[in-house]
Amino acid sequence: MKNNRLGRQTIRFENPPTILNTASIVGPKEGEGPLRDYFDKVECDDTCKEKTFEKAEEYFCNESVETLLHKERLKSGDIDYYIGGDLLNQIISTSFTAKKLGIPYFGVYSACATFAEAIQLASCIIAGEFALNIVVSASSHFSSAERQYRSPLESGVQRKMTAQWTVTGAGSMLLTQNSKPPYITHVTTGIVQDYGIKEADNMGTAMAPAAVETILSHFKDTGYKPDDYDLIITGDLGTVGKDITMDLLLREGFDVSKNYTDCGVEIYDESQDTHARGSGAGCSAVVFSGYLFDQLNKKELNKILFVPTGALLSPTTTLQGDTIPCIAHAITIENTPELGKEAK
Amino acid sequence: MKSIKTDKEYKDYVKDKQPKQTLLKNCINAFIWGGSICIFGQLLFDMSKKHLELNEKDAATVQIIILIFIGAFLTSVGIYDKIGKHAGAGSIVPITGFANSIVAPAMEYKKEGYVMGVGAKMFSLAGPVLVYGTSASVIVGIIYYFFK
């Protein structure tokens, strides 16, 4: 068997899959943020005229996939697999979307790193020549997440300064066999990290070590250095987690201060009063599908390391005083595949 | 990571990476908001005594009914949570906060039906207050009975 594995955690695609197109649809608050011009659609009402917020999230998810298919003039029948997930119990928004689409479906969950998990699996299926076209998606909704993970929306409690704001929106991506840039050349699958943080309203601090470990493993496995990338972007560490990640990477000998940022930090600005900025499965999904894909197409960015991060907590175990297991998955996306060092 | 190995090392390391909780500002806000609500309550109490010519017990009932109504009403139109953002404990501790903690889940879980939604979840926030409030009053009552 030909070995395409690099080190412990990385796969190198000799025949790298193509990201053919993306679609992003967001709620009103994200539509007021600094990335507003990059999204395909901004809904002015976060209920989307649906009766419940769960239905609204399903609408976001479905609408992003439909928009994606429409852009490429494809039908459900042209897609071999649909891989996706969201934050709600039993990933229900994505499953309802899968029901409507009628595409063979893998439901996945890595909390806010779901989009990365879906992309990694899709890339492997395509590179293994088991499929031609795969759609991946991830979604989240502020109000449905609040009611599942925290307190009722109208209750008058104060949020902590470390708390992050769940992004309302859905992003989807169409992957296909090697044809044109941008390509997915490497994926580094994360190992769960848990440094004993228990506060569910401080997820940036909980997730930072997962991001750091995955980025370090990626550099170790591939031999790349921070300067090889135009941009290294984590998923939803927020302002608190971003600072910790940057500092920890520096302590480990990698200076990323010039080309590192975080999707959660970028999606809102200071004036939007979200405290530690954005989070949620939709956060990295819409920032990639909206902003990053646009920059890759315009060749403003040619090589990026996209590292969505996920806090794999359950409200039940949090109440029981358990810690928060966290994960981060890294994906290298390049316009000109250099592929780096070969597998031994 | 080479630089940090144990949970304790990480917890110590992140301590000064945390944004400062604006404790003093929160306390002052809570004092002003909570104090204002209480002054308003006192005003209602005094006015019902003076203008409605009620005795102390009835005036207190009227005052509580009005405050609970205002708390519930502001919750239902989506204002109370905005006050709570600034007021913190100042708008949770007074009885208007108690009204908020019952009306908010009642509104929220209506979508899951009147029995398993509103009925079952209405006291999800206020429940602990009722349980421990009642328990504490029983204990205090027993102590009072023996030592009065």
Helix ranges (H only) for chain A are 28-31, 53-71, 92-101, 114-127, 142-149, 203-222, 238-251, 263-267, 281-287, 293-297, 315-319
Q: Which residues of B touch A154 (CB under 8 A)?
A: 75-76, 78, 80-81, 100, 103-104, 107-108
In a domain, A344, yes or no: no
Q: Determine the Cα–Cα distance for residues A154 and A141; give it in Å rounded to an integer.
A: 16
Among A323-327, A337-341, B88-92, the least confident range: A337-341
In a domain, A113, yes or no: yes
ipTM for the complex?
0.89
Q: Kindly state the tokens that stand for B145.
A: 């009975």
In a domain, A341, yes or no: no
Q: Identify whether residues A162 and A228 lie together within a single domain.
A: no
In a domain, B140, yes or no: yes
Residue B23 near residue B73, CB atoms below 8 Å: no
Range of the domain at B50: 21-147
Number of domains in chain A: 2
Q: What is the mean pLDDT of residues A280-309?
A: 97
> Count of CB atoms within 10 A of residue A135's CB?
31
Range of the domain at A30: 5-176
CB proximity A132 to B under 8 Å? no
Task: State the pLDDT at residue A114.
Answer: 97
Q: Which band of pLDDT confidence, cut at 50, 70 and 90, is reported for residue A340?
A: low
In a domain, B10, yes or no: no
CB spacing of B111 vs A209 below 8 angstroms: no
Task: Outline where DSSP puts E strands in B49-137.
Answer: none
Q: Determine the Cα–Cα distance for residues A196 and A27; give it in Å rounded to an integer.
A: 33
Per residue in A107-145, pLDDT tens? 999 999 999 999 999 999 999 999 999 999 999 999 999
Q: Determine the Cα–Cα distance for residues A326 and B79; give it in Å rounded to an integer.
A: 36
Q: Which residues of B touch A251 (CB under 8 A)?
A: 1, 3-4
Per residue in A47-93, pLDDT tens? 999 999 999 999 999 999 999 999 999 999 999 999 999 999 999 99
**What is the chain B residue with the closest CA to A273?**
B85
- The residue with greater pLDDT, A340 or A178, is A178
**What is the chain A residue with the closest CA to B96?**
A156
Q: Identify whether residues A160 and A265 lie together within a single domain.
A: no
In a domain, B73, yes or no: yes
> A22: which strand partners?
A173
Q: Kindly state the tokens that stand for A109.
A: 């969950």
In a domain, B95, yes or no: yes
Task: State the pLDDT at residue B1.
Answer: 84
Q: Which band of pLDDT confidence, cut at 50, 70 and 90, is reported for residue A344?
A: low
In a domain, B134, yes or no: yes
In a domain, B3, yes or no: no
In a domain, A64, yes or no: yes
Q: Which of B10, B92, B104 sits opposite A209 (nearest CB)?
A: B10
Residue A236 near residue A280, CB atoms below 8 Å: yes
CB spacing of A205 vs B18 below 8 angstroms: yes
In a domain, A339, yes or no: no
Q: Which residues have CB under 8 Å from A62's CB, separation 6+?
A: A96, A97, A100, A101
Q: Identify whether residues A45 and A161 lie together within a single domain.
A: yes
| Tens place of pLDDT per residue across chain B (148 aa) | 888 999 999 999 999 899 987 889 999 999 999 999 999 999 999 999 999 999 999 999 999 999 999 999 999 999 999 999 999 999 999 999 999 999 999 999 999 999 999 999 999 989 998 999 999 999 999 999 999 8
Q: Identify whether residues A16 and A72 lie together within a single domain.
A: yes
Which CATH number goes with the domain that contains A224? 3.40.47.40
Q: Determine the Cα–Cα distance for residues A36 and A29; give it in Å rounded to an integer.
A: 9
Q: Which residues have CB under 8 Å from A101's CB, separation 6+?
A: A62, A65, A76, A79, A82, A135
Task: State the pLDDT at residue B43.
Answer: 96
In a domain, A121, yes or no: yes
Q: What is the mean pLDDT of residues A294-300?
A: 97
Q: Identify whether residues A137 and A284 lie together within a single domain.
A: no
* Host H or E run for residue B90: helix B89-92
Q: Identify whether residues A149 and A205 lie together within a single domain.
A: no
Q: Identify whether residues A100 and A220 lie together within a single domain.
A: no
pLDDT at A155 over 80: yes
User: Which of A146, A176, A206 is the C-terminal boundary of a domain?
Assistant: A176
**What is the chain B residue with the closest CA to A197?**
B11
CB proximity B87 to A under 8 Å? yes
Write the burial class of residue B71 (CB in 10 Å: 0-12 exposed, 13-18 middle, 19+ buried): buried
Residue A140 near residue A169, CB atoms below 8 Å: yes
Per residue in A92-111, pLDDT tens? 999 999 999 999 999 999 99
CB proximity A243 to B under 8 Å? yes
Number of domains in chain B: 1
User: Which of A160, A176, A192 is the C-terminal boundary of a domain?
Assistant: A176
* Host H or E run for residue A12: strand A10-12
Q: Which residues of B touch A197 (CB under 8 A)?
A: 10-11
Q: Identify whether residues A134 and A275 lie together within a single domain.
A: no
Q: Kindly state the tokens that stand for A192.
A: 């769960």
Q: Identify whether residues A234 and A116 lie together within a single domain.
A: no
SS percent in chain B: helix, strand, coil, step 5: 80, 0, 20
Percent of chain A past pLDDT 90, that is, above it, reads: 92
Q: Identify whether residues A299 and A264 lie together within a single domain.
A: yes
In a domain, B5, yes or no: no
**What is the chain B residue with the closest CA to A209?**
B1
In a domain, B28, yes or no: yes
Q: Identify whether residues A167 and A213 lie together within a single domain.
A: no
User: Which of A151, A176, A201 is the C-terminal boundary of a domain?
Assistant: A176
In a domain, A268, yes or no: yes
Q: Identify whether residues A117 and A199 lie together within a single domain.
A: no
pLDDT at A282 over 90: yes
Among A13-22, A94-103, A143-152, A253-262, the least confident range: A143-152
